[in-house]
Amino acid sequence: MSPKSQAARGHQVGDYRGVWGSRTHLGKRKDLRNDPARYAGRGDDVKAVLWDFGGVITTSPFDAFAEYERRSGLEPGFIRALNATNPDSNAWALLERGEITLDEFAPLFEAEAARAGGTLSAPEVLSALDGEIRPEMVEALRRCHERLRTGLLTNNFASMEATSKDSVAEHFDVVIESSKVGLRKPEAAFYQLACDRLGVSPCEAVFLDDLGINLKPARAMGMATIKVSDPATAIAELEALVGFELR
């Protein structure tokens, strides 16, 4: 099945690794790599746009995590702090790389929580990852797909083929899932794999993510990066980079 025909929902972990951070120039020159003004009128330089899923195409799960922590009597930020501990080898990381199953994940994750002084239900935490689709981001994605190559880079733990959000997935030329390739953001090889499959160099790509830790390695490789907090602001920044309207 081609990436464009894959359904793009599944349990998208949304790349909430670790703290769930620029390249510097010589001398004292200001680094304008991600200043939209620097890229205005340079749309021909951009060949591909790479997208995170959770927190970009969909709403962020952080609010749901906070609500779960409140209901469960956990300290605010407990879940994010838990995943910041041993971020490359904890249960969350193993699940995202497809090294353990969901059944194996639950007791490991709950044991990590217990060692950190909390009690939680792994399935309930995972259910908080199902964010709402942002229509304005889908429209921006659709317009990018009409003129540029597009890729989805997602840290996930379930096959995207098993669910149905074709209205989103059809706008991607390439879908890179951590659970299938055994790599995850922010590993540089994950981004390089996406560029290789799209047939572009990193300096020809823009990457959108809601976590700075995931943007830092992409930026170091030469990509223009956009941190998504407010969708409207992110779309405006992307318009300046690609050189055409996205709304």
Percent of the chain with pLDDT over 90: 69
Mean pLDDT of the chain: 84
Residue that has been written with the tokens 């464009």 in this structure? 4
Helices 212-221 and 188-198 cross at an angle (nearest 10°) of 60
Mean pLDDT of 40-46: 67
pLDDT value at residue 129: 84
Cα gap 185→25, rounded to integer Å: 25
Structure tokens at 247: 């709304």
- Domains, the chain, in order of start with CATH, read 3-60+131-242 (3.40.50.1000), 62-127 (1.10.150.240)
Least confident of 14-28, 99-113, 116-130: 14-28
pLDDT band at 156 (very low <50, low <70, confident <90, very high): confident
Q: What is the CA radius of gyration of the chain?
A: 18
Cα gap 184→218, rounded to integer Å: 12
pLDDT value at residue 26: 28
Residue 3 has pLDDT above 90, yes or no: no
Q: Please name which of 155, 140, 111, 109 lies closest in space to residue 206, comparing C-alpha atoms.
A: 140
Q: Torsions phi, psi of 81, nearest 5? A: -65, -35
Q: State pLDDT tens for residues 6-41.
A: 333 444 444 544 444 333 222 333 343 445 444 444
Residue 130 has pLDDT above 90, yes or no: no
Please give the residue that has the higher pLDDT: either 140 or 177.
140
Cα gap 166→220, rounded to integer Å: 32
pLDDT value at residue 39: 43
Q: State pLDDT tens for residues 56-89.
A: 999 988 888 999 999 999 999 999 999 999 999 9
Please give the residue that has the higher pLDDT: either 191 or 13.
191
